[in-house]
C-alpha cells in the first residue's frame, strides 16, 4: 500500500437509539484524515437519515443490497476489499447474532462477511439483552474469529433500566479504530517465515510418534501477518486447517521434511515465528511393513531430530527470531534458557498443564519472555494472540532497523 494512500474506514450503522452517535464517530474519524464510507441497515434509517452521513462524508451511503452506487463493480465486494477497518457502531444484538452465524441478508452483513479487514464491533442494547446467554455466546464466537469488541458502558439506558448496554464513548471507539489502522500494512515488504503444527515420525506405515499441536496459533499468525502486508511462507506439519488466506503454504510430515523446507525459506526471511511443535525424537529404524503384535519390539531405539530453531539462531544475522516454549514445569526459566541458547529475540511461553488451553483449544494464556522482561498475558483467543505476536514482530523489526 502506498504510504500516502488515505486509509478507509467502512462504518456500519444499525437500528437502535444510539445510531445518532455514529455521526460523531464519523466526524471524529474524518478530522483525523480518514476516509469514511457508511453502510446502514434499513432499521438504522428510522433513527438517523442517510443524508446526514452523505453530507458529512461526501460519499454515497448504502442502505440496501439493491443500491448500486457504482456501475463498474459489484459494490458489496468492492466496498469489502477497499476497507482498511470495518467498524459497526452501534451494533445491535440482532446484527451480532447475524455476524456470529454468517447470515448475510442485507448490505451491512454482506460486506462484513466479504471483507478481510479487521472487524470492530461496538454493541449497544438493553442490559438484559447484553447479558443473555445467546448474546454472550455470539460475542465469544466473534472474538474467537478475531473480531474486536468495544464493550458497552454501564449506566441508565433509554428504556429506564440501569446496567451495561450503553454504546461505548466516542474516544473508546475511535481509539480502537485508530489502533487497527496503525496495524494496516505495518508488515508491508517483510518476508515472514512461520512454522506451525506437529511433526509425525513414523514407526511403520501405520504408526507414528507425534504430539497434540493443532497448528491454530501458527495459522492465525500467518493469516494476520499476510493481512498486514507481509509476504508469508507457512511451513506446516499435519493439520486439518485450510490454507491461510494470502500465504504460501508448504505442507510436510516429519521433522526432517520441516527442517529442509524451513531452512530453504529461511535464506530469504526477514523474520521467523516458529510455533511448530517439532518432535524431538524419532525411531532410529522405520519398519517397511506394518508391525504385527507378535513382532512388536519391547522397546524402540530413538535418535534426535534436527533442532531447526537452534540452527536458525546460529545463522541469525539481522533477522528477528521468535520461538515458542510449551512446558509443564519451570515455565519462565525454561523459556529464558531457550531464549539464550537459540539466540532468540522473544519466546512465547505457555503452561501446557492449564486445562482447556493450549493444544487443541481455540484459546491460550501465554507469557512473552525477552532478555529483560516477562509479560504475562490474560487468556485470549488464538486469533487475538496472533495480533499480539504480529505487533511484537513489527516492533522488533523496527528496533532492528534503527540499530
Provide the β-strand partners of residue 164: 154
Which residues in 116-150 are b (16+ Cβ under 10 Å) and which e? ebbbbbbbbbbbebbeeeebeebbebbbeebbbbb
CA distances from residue 208 to 175, 194, 201, 277, 299 in whole angstroms, order as listed? 50, 24, 5, 15, 14
Is residue 159 among the annotated active site residues? yes
CA 132 to CA 311: how far, in whole Å? 52
CA distance linking residue 108 with residue 91, whole number of Å: 11
Q: DSSP state, 277?
A: B
Radius of gyration over alpha carbons of the chain, in Å? 24
Strands 153-156 and 162-166: antiparallel
- For 58-106, strand residue ranges (E) read 85-91
Which contacts (CB < 8 Å, 24+ apart) does range 109-113 have?
110/65, 110/76, 111/10, 111/12, 111/39, 111/76, 111/79, 111/80, 111/83, 111/86, 112/12, 112/86, 112/88
Cα angle for residues 166, 170, 173 (degrees, 5° grid): 85
Choose among 246, 302, 312, 301: nearest CA to 276. Answer: 312
- Max CA separation in the chain (angstroms): 82
CB atoms within 10 A of CB 161: 12
- How many CB atoms within 10 Å of residue 72? 6
- Which residues lie below 8 Å from residue 253, measured CB to CB, with a gap of 6+? 199, 200, 237, 238
Bridge partners, residue 304, by sequence: 281
Catalytic-labelled residue, pool 91, 159, 247, 390: 159
Please give the helix or strand (H or E) that residue 40 lies within, else none.
strand 35-40
Give the residue numbers marked as catalytic.
159
Amino acid at each position: 500500500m502506498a504510504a500516502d494512500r488515505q486509509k478507509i474506514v467502512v462504518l456500519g450503522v444499525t437500528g437502535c437509539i444510539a445510531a445518532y452517535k455514529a455521526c460523531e464517530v464519523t466526524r471524529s474519524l474524518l478530522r483525523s484524515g480518514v476516509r469514511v464510507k457508511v453502510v446502514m441497515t434499513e432499521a438504522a434509517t428510522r433513527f438517523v437519515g442517510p443524508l446526514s452521513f452523505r453530507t458529512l462524508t461526501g460519499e454515497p451511503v448504502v442502505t440496501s443490497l439493491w443500491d448500486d452506487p457504482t456501475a463498474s463493480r459489484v459494490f458489496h465486494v468492492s466496498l469489502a476489499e477497499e476497507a482498511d477497518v470495518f467498524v459497526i457502531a452501534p451494533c445491535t444484538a440482532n446484527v451480532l447474532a447475524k455476524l456470529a452465524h454468517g447470515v448475510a441478508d442485507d448490505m451491512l452483513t454482506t460486506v462484513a462477511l466479504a471483507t478481510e479487514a479487521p472487524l470492530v464491533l461496538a454493541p449497544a442494547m438493553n442490559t438484559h439483552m447484553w447479558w443473555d446467554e445467546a448474546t454472550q455466546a455470539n460475542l465469544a464466537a466473534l472474538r474467537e474469529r478475531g473480531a474486536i469488541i468495544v464493550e458497552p458502558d454501564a449506566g441508565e439506558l433509554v428504556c429506564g433500566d440501569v446496567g451495561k448496554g450503553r454504546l461505548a464513548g466516542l474516544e473508546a471507539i475511535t481509539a480502537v479504530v485508530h489502533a487497527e489502522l496503525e496495524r494496516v500494512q505495518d508488515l508491508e515488504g517483510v518476508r515472514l517465515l512461520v512454522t506451525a503444527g506437529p511433526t509425525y515420525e513414523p514407526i511403520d506405515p501405520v504408526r507414528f510418534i507425534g504430539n497434540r499441536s493443532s497448528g491454530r496459533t501458527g495459522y492465525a499468525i500467518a493469516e494476520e501477518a499476510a493481512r498486514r502486508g507481509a509476504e508469508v511462507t507457512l511451513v506446516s506439519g499435519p493439520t486439518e486447517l485450510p490454507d491461510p488466506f494470502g500465504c504460501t503454504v508448504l505442507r510436510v510430515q516429519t521433522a526432517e521434511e520441516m527442517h529442509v523446507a524451513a531452512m530453504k525459506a529461511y535464506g530469504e526471511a526477514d523474520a521467523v515465528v516458529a510455533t511448530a511443535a517439532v518432535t524431538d525424537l524419532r525411531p532410529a529404524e522405520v519398519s517397511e511393513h506394518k508391525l504385527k503384535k507378535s513382532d512388536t519390539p519391547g522397546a524402540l531405539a530413538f535418535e534426535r531430530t534436527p533442532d531447526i530453531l537452534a540452527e536458525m539462531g546460529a545463522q541469525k544475522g539481522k533477522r528477528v527470531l521468535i520461538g515458542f516454549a510449551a512446558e509443564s514445569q519451570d515455565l519462565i526459566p525454561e523459556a529464558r534458557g531457550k531464549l539464550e541458547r537459540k539466540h532468540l529475540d522473544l519466546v512465547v511461553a505457555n503452561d501446557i498443564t492449564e486445562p482447556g488451553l493450549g493444544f487443541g483449544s481455540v484459546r491460550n494464556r501465554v507469557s512473552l519472555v525477552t532478555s529483560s522482561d516477562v509479560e504475562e498475558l490474560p487468556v485470549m483467543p488464538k486469533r487475538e494472540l496472533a495480533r499480539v505476536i504480529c505487533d511484537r514482530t513489527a516492533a522488533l523489526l523496527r528496533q532492528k532497523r534503527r540499530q
